[in-house]
Amino acid sequence: MDNIAGKKSGLSIVTNLSVLVLVVLWLIPTIGLLVSSFRDRDQISETGWWLALFPVEQAVRITPEMGDVTQEGDLYVVSGNVFGADGSGSVAAFGITSRDPGAAEAGQTYGRLKLEVLDEEGEPDTENYETAWPVDGTPEIPETDEDGRAVQSYTIDRALTMQPNGDYVWRQASEPRRAPALYVVSTQPPDFGLQNYETILTSNNMDQAFINTLTVTIPATVIPILIAAFAAYALAWMDFPGRGWLVAIVVGLLVVPLQLALVPMLTLHNEIGIGQSFLGIWLAHTGFGLPLAVYILRNYMVGLPRDIIESAKVDGATDFQVFTRIVLPLSFPALASFAIFQFLWTWNDLLVAKVFLPSNSESWVMTVKIADDLLGSRGGDWGILAAAAFVSIAVPLLVFFAMQKYLVRGLLAGSVK
């Protein structure tokens, strides 16, 4: 078609660009999650993932080693470097409380003063006042405080001087018993690593959930294939009254909402003693997966060449032999595509797992674990959430990219004939 007149190169550029835009739009959300899952938890909340490659200005609380305490006038003085004796880094801002960790710029002094004030009746009072001032200067004191009371004098309660290289001097009115807590906003290099994955896999039962998902998925994929293959063969190649109606019923069952089955089947499971268990969910997934399995496999088997099957029968092969020796091997592509469907469906399922599996944490599959546990208890911990999500979608993505050919073929077999 490329050689047909009327094809404009301008249109081609527009096409390329719009596809590129769509692909980028479609990928951005997933990339965001992937990048976030490798970032340091504190850095995630400081800058967006799109800035992940740039250094992050991050507030940290540092409790330096308690060095020698000297006295300077009324004040006790501790000094050192926040990055340690041989550490290095650069301080952008600092503070003395977690409330405002970046209260002052590096190269200044920041402190808490005690103001002596006189109120309207002339009664003396003291109050706290925080401010920053130049290293060589003195703090500027307002003439009146917020309530309009006149400020008489001040004393320094505590003060911190910080240089951009991390050298600090801490002054305090009372004798320090333990090291002061310093708050430093410093520029940290991007911090990527597997910490989130480590946390989620070692301390959160996610490993158990992963195994549970696998345990649910594999039998729930294998068993329906076998049952469906025999049924599909009967519907495709055996002649019996009512065959047409059975196929129609299977087509009808394709769209029966899963929700209908939840209450009656759970009640039935409880009555016959299966209850909420792995056996129950395998049976349920088998039942729910069958219509699609029979439909895809029958459509494929009907298309197999008639001569092969008939000549085998003429040679005396029974239906059972024709099925196992000829039809089953030839139907591999259809079997594979249904297997992928069922695998993805059962792996990703939340509804059936919530209803048919016990609700204790040892039996949680990953989807339940994320939706019911992590989102609640770790709602704001984006690094952990991202890592958990990626643990749960890694296997389906691998299967997807490895077996895409069969998946597409199965989709087409199920939808267009």
Partner 1 sequence: MSPIVQGILTIIIGVGGCIGYFYASNILLDRVIFPPKTDDQGRNIRRATMVRPWLFLLPAILALGLYLVYPVVGSFLRSLYNRSGNEFVGFGNYVQMFAEHGFRVALFNNFLWVVFVPAGATFFGLLVAQLTDRLKWGNIAKSLIFMPMAISFVGASLIWKFVYAADPDIGIINAIRDYFGAAPVDPMQIPFWNNFFIMFIMVWMQTGFAMVILSAALRGIPEETIEAAIIDGANPFQIFFRIKVPQIAGTIVVVWTTITFLTLKVFDIVYTMTGGNFDTEILPSYMMDYMFRDDGRATAVAFVIMVIVTPVMIWNIRQARREL
Q: What is the x/- site pattern for partner 1, positions 271-300, by CB under 8 A? A: -------xx--xxx-xxx-xx--x------
Q: Does 248 bind partner 1 (CB under 8 A)?
A: yes
CB nearer partner 1, residue 109 or residue 276 = 276
# binding residues, partner 1 (CB under 8 A): 118
Residue 96 sits at φ, ψ, to 5 deg, of -120, 0
The pair phi, psi for residue 119, each rounded to 5°, is -85, -175
Q: What is the dihedral of CA 303, 309, 311, 313, to 10 degrees?
A: -150
Query: Which of positions 360-389 make contact with partner 1 (CB under 8 A)?
Result: 363, 367, 370-371, 375, 382, 385-386, 389
- Amino acid, single-letter form, for residue 285: H
314 binds partner 1 (CB under 8 A): no
Q: Which of 60, 141, 222, 326 binds partner 1 (CB under 8 A)?
A: 222
Residue showing tokens 């040892």: 362
Stretch of 162-170, 179-187, 197-205, 315-323 contacting partner 1, by CB under 8 A:
315-323
Residue 101 near residue 61, CB atoms below 8 Å? yes
Which two tokens mark 84? 């340690």
223 binds partner 1 (CB under 8 A): yes
- The answer to whether residue 40 forms part of the interface with partner 1 (CB under 8 A) is no
**386: which residues sit within 8 A by CB, 6+ positions away?**
33, 34, 36, 37, 196
Give the binding range for partner 1 (CB under 8 A) out of 57-65, 145-153, 191-199, 251-259.
Answer: 251-259
Dig out the tokens for 331 from the structure.
């139907």
Residue 234: left if φ>0, alpha if ψ -120 to 50, beta else—which one?
A: alpha
With CB under 8 A as the contact rule, the residue among 151, 201, 253, 304 that binds partner 1 is: 253
The footprint of partner 1 on residues 173-212 (CB under 8 A) is: 211-212
Looking at the Cβ atoms of 110 and 233, the one nearer to partner 1 is 233
Q: Examine residue 257 and tell whether it contacts partner 1 (CB under 8 A).
A: yes
CB closer to partner 1 out of 17 and 66 = 17
Closest distance of CB 209 from partner 1, Å: 11
Q: Which of 3, 4, 87, 128 binds partner 1 (CB under 8 A)?
A: 4
Q: How far is the CB of 33 from partner 1 (least distance, A)?
A: 5
Q: How far is the CB of 396 from partner 1 (least distance, A)?
A: 4
Which residue in the set 246, 317, 328, 336 belongs to the binding site for partner 1 (CB under 8 A)?
246
Q: Would you count residue 342 as binding partner 1 (CB under 8 A)?
A: no
Shortest spacing between CB 288 and partner 1, in angstroms = 6
Task: Report the residue number, 169 or 218, with the smaller CB distance to partner 1.
Answer: 218
Q: Which residue lies nearer to partner 1 by CB, 20 or 194?
A: 20
Residue whose CB is less far from partner 1, 211 or 308: 211
